[in-house]
A and B are shown apart, each in its own frame.
Chain A
Amino acid sequence: MDLVIILSTLDATIRLSTPLLLACLAGLYSERAGVFDIGLEGKMLAAAFGAAAVAAVTNNVWLGLLAGVGVSLSTSALQGAAAITLKGNQLIAGVAINMLAAGLTTFLGIQWFAQGGRTPALTPDSRFGNMTLPFADELAGVPVLGQIYSELISGHNLLVYIAFLAVPITWFVLYRTRFGLRLRAVGENPKAVDTAGISVIALRYQAVLITGLLCGLAGAFFSIAQGSGFGNNMTAGKGFIALAALIFAKWKPVPAMFTCLLFGFLDALQIRLQNTDIFGVTVPVQAIQALPYILTVVLLAGFIGKAVGPKAGGVAYTKER
C-alpha cells in the first residue's frame, strides 16, 4: 500500500474513532464514579436526534449541538435519578434508556418530519464542516510529514479535535485534581468518601452529567458533523463498542484513546477490505466487525491481561444500614 492509501485509511480511522472516543470517555467518568452505564448508546442516539432536529429547524449548528447535549444531559439526569437517588439497578436503567431512545427518536422523527424517521438533510450552515488547520495547504507539498499534517491531522470537523483534546483533559481531571481523586475514590470505596464528609450522591451526579455532556457531543457528531441529518438507529451499536473499549482500556483515559483508535481502525479496515483478498484468502468483513467484541471478551476473561473495574461499580450507595 502506498502512502496515500495508508493516509486515507488512517484518516477514516480518526473519523470513525471520534464518536467511540467521546462515548468511551463519557462512560469512563460514570463508571469511575461507580455507576455502570450500558446506556451510552441510548444517550448518543437521543443526542443525535435532538441535534439534527434542532439544527434542521433553526438552521444553526450551535443550537443543534446545544440541543443534542441538552437531550443527552436530561437523559443522564433520568438515569441518575433511577440509579443514584432511587437506588435502582444501574444495568436495567441503562437498558431502559437505550430502548427509550430507540423508540422515541423514531416515533417523534416520523411524527415531526414525516420522512420515515429521518430528519431533513442539513445545509452546510447547520452542520460542522471540516476545518483546515493553519498552514495545512502550504505544507501539503512537503513529503511525508507535510502530507501527514495536511491529510491526516488537518481537515476534520471541530468535534474530532474536541474528542482528542478531551483525552489529556480527562487524564488531568482524573489524576491531578481534587475532583478526580474524589471521583476515583467514590467508585472504589464510597464509604470512605462519605466518611470524609463528601457527598457520594452529589459526586455521582456530577460524574453522570459529565457522561451526558460527552455522549451529547458523540451523538451530535453522528448527525450534524459526520452525517447531515438523523437516520433511524444511526449510532448502530457504537455505544456498545465504546463500552467494550472502556473495558479494554481498563477504565483509563490514555489507553481509552488508543483502544478507540484501534477499534476505529478495524472499522476503517473493514470498509476498505470489502471483498478484497489478502494472500488469496477472503477475510469475511463480519470477522473484522466482530473483532472488537471478541478482543474485549478475551481480555475480560483474563487471557491477555486482566480488566478489573471500579470496585464499587454497579451498587447504589446506601448511607446507613
Chain B
Amino acid sequence: MKRRHFLLGGVGAIGALLVGWSALPPKQRLQATEPLENMPYRPALNGWVRIGSNNTVTITMAHVEMGQGTHTGLAMMLADELDADWAQVRLIQAPPGDKIYNNLSLLPDGLPFHPDDMGMLHRGANWMTTKASRLLPGLMLTGGSSSIKDQWQPLREAGASARLMLLAAAAKQWKVPVTECSTANSKVTHAASGRSASYGELAVSASKQALPKSVTLKTPDAFKLIGQPLKRIEAASKLNGTAQFGIDIRAPGMLYASVTMCPVLGGRFKSMDASKAQAMPGVKKVFTTEAAAGAPPAVVVIATQPWQALQALKAVQIEWDEGENANFSSAAFIDSLAQSLDQDDGYNYYEQGNVSQALSKATKRIKAEYRVPYLAHATMEPMNCTVRFKEGEAMVWAPTQIPGMVPRLVADVLGIDSDKVQLHITLLGGGFGRRLEPDFFVQAAQIAKEANGVPVQTFWTREQDMQHDKYRPACVARLEAGFDDKGQLSAWQARSAGQSVTHQIVERLFGSSGMGPDKTTAEGAYDTAYAFPSSRISHQIVPGPVPVGYWRSVGWSHQGFITESFMDEVAAELKQDPLALRLALLAEHPEHVELLKRLAELSGWGQPITPGADGVARARGVALVRSFGSIVGQVAEVSVAADKRIRVHKVTCVLNCGTAINPNLVRQQVESGIIFGLSAALYGEIKIEKGRVLQNNFYDYLPIRMNESPEIVVEIMPSQAPPEGMGEPGTPPIAPAVANAVFTLTGQRLRSLPLKLA
C-alpha cells in the first residue's frame, strides 16, 4: 500500500500549490477566456451557443464525433435547457485552445480508487484532479466514454443561461416583468399581452445582457429533448457521400503522401534506392522522416495522385536497421509476463479482509491462468491527416480524438509557435481509442514540412495501419479462489501483468515516460461491486517494446473477461447457478441486482433453449461488468458446430447508464460495443515475430461480418441519476458471456482469447 500513499501524497501536493483555484467563479466553463467572435448575424450568448438572426442555434462542440453519437447528445442537452427548436440546431467545433473546452471528466476517472469508495481521499483527489483539468492546456479531448458526463453540467448551464438572457431581452423590449414571460420552441412569449418574439429577433439584444449570476436547471420531468430517441444529427450526410472525414479533405493544389514505416519495432532507417520511384509519373519527392511521437521512421513518397504515391513507394528499395528488437516475439513476451508473476505482484489496487489468511485456511482452492493477446483498433478509416505549412503558419485537417494536443505537437515539428497552428477537426471514421494517439498527425506535419507550402494529405494503407497501431496490451492473469470448511467462497485473489498504456502515451505526448501505477491496467479486476469475504487485486507493469494504446473499454476489455470467466469457475465449483452467485455477491448493490434480475427475465435465463434451424444445441452464458460508470449485463446464446466453430446467435443486454440522454444512441453504442467485442473474442489477435507484426489486412485480422452478426436485444433501466459513459461499456461483457456459454455447452473452460475450442 506504500506506493498508493506516495501517489496520493503527490496529488495532495499539487493541490496545495494550486490553492487559489477554489476562488475561481463557478461560471468559468460558461464564458471562454477569449469570447467567441461576435458575428453580427450570429451573436454568441456565451462560450457554447450562438443564435442567428435566421433563428439557427449554433452549439459549440468540445468533443469529436467518431460514430458514438456524442454530437447529437451534447446538442440535446443544451437545446433542452434553451427551449430551442431542435430543427434549428447547428453544430460548430470548438477551437482547441480555450480551456473552457477542456475535458474535466477524463483525468478524475483515471484515479486508482474503487468506485464504491466515496471516502475523503477519493473525493479530495477527484476535486483536485478536476480543478487541474480546468487549468492544464491541451485537454480538449474525446475518450474514456466521458463526453456526455463531462458536458452534462456546463452545456445545460449554458443553455439555461442563454435562455435567461433571451427572456431578459424580451422583457426589456416589451417593458414587462421577466417573470411574466415564457419560452418554448425558440420563442419568448408574453401570454398576458399576446406578444411573442423569436430567438432570432431577440439574439442581438440578448447578447448584450449581463451573464446571469445563477441558473436553475430543469428537473427531469421538465425535459423535452433529454430522454427522447432523436435521430443522429449528422446522419443524412452519411447517406449521400457528403460527410467529410479526414481522408476526404481536398485542399486546393493538395498532394498525396504514402508512407512505409520501419516494419521492425524500434528499428531505424538505413538506406534506400529511390531512383526508379523518382522517375515514375506524378512523383514529386521521395524522402524519409524520423521517429516522432510514436510514429516510426518512414520512407515517404509525395505525388500528385494517391495511386501514383502508392505505386512509387512500392518501387523504392529500402533497407532497415532492425535494431534491438529484431528477434522480439510476442508469444515469448507473453510467456515472460507469466514468469514475472512468479516474482512479484506489482501494485495492489484493492484489498479487503485478509486474503492470505483466508487462502491458508481454505479447505479447497482453485487456481487459473488467463491470457489475452494484443489487439489492433482497425478503424474503417485508416490513419490520415492533411497539413499545409506555408509562410510560418500551419493549417491542419485532422480526424483526431486529441485536438487539444495538436497545436503544440505540430508546432514543435515545424519550429513555430503553437498559436500559428490552425486546426480543422473532421468527422472520424471510427476511433475506438486509436485516434487518441499523436503519431499520424505529427508524421503528417513532418511530411508537410518538406512540401514547400503545398498542402499534403498523408494517408496510411490498411497494412501500415494494422502494423503500426498502438495495440491493446497483452495480459497474463493468475486468479485464485478459496473456499472455507462450510464450502463457502472465502477469498478471491487476482494478480496480472502486462504493459502500461498510460506510461507509453505520456511519453508519446510529452517526451518522458509516465510512472507510478496505471489504473487502466487493473480496471475490471479491482473495481467490481462483488462483496468478496476477502480479496486482493494487483497488477504488475512489465515494460516492453510493443506500442500499446487505449482500445475501446481499455483495461475492462480484458480484465472484464478474466473476472467474469473466473466468476463462472467459482460458480461451477460451488455448484451454483452463475447468475444466482452474482446476485448473492451483489446483494448490497440494488442497481446491479435489479439489472441482473431483469436480464434473467428478458433473456429467458434458466429456461430451456430450442435449437435453431440447424438443430445444433445452444446454451446461455452471462456476464456483468460496470465500466465508465455504467453497469452492463449480457446473456449470449451460443452454439458450437461440429467443426468446433463458436457461433453467437443472440445477445440480450440490460444496462444502467444513469440518465440516457438519447436512448436510441445508447442502444446503438451497446450494439456496437457487443460486435466490436465479439470480433475480438472470436478472432482478434495481433502476433509479432522477429519484431514484425504478422497481420496485414482484413484477411488475417478478422472482424465480425453480417453473416456472423447476432440478434441483439437491448433494454435500458430507467434512471434519473447523472449520465455515465456509454461509448465503451457494451464491449467488456461479451467475451466472458460467450466463454461461459461455451463452458456450459462443452465443459471446456477457455482461458485465453480469442476463444478457440481444442
User: Are chains A and B native binding partners rather than an unrelated pairing?
Assistant: no
Q: Which A residues form the contact surface with B (CB < 8 A)?
A: none
Q: Which B residues form the contact surface with A (CB < 8 A)?
A: none
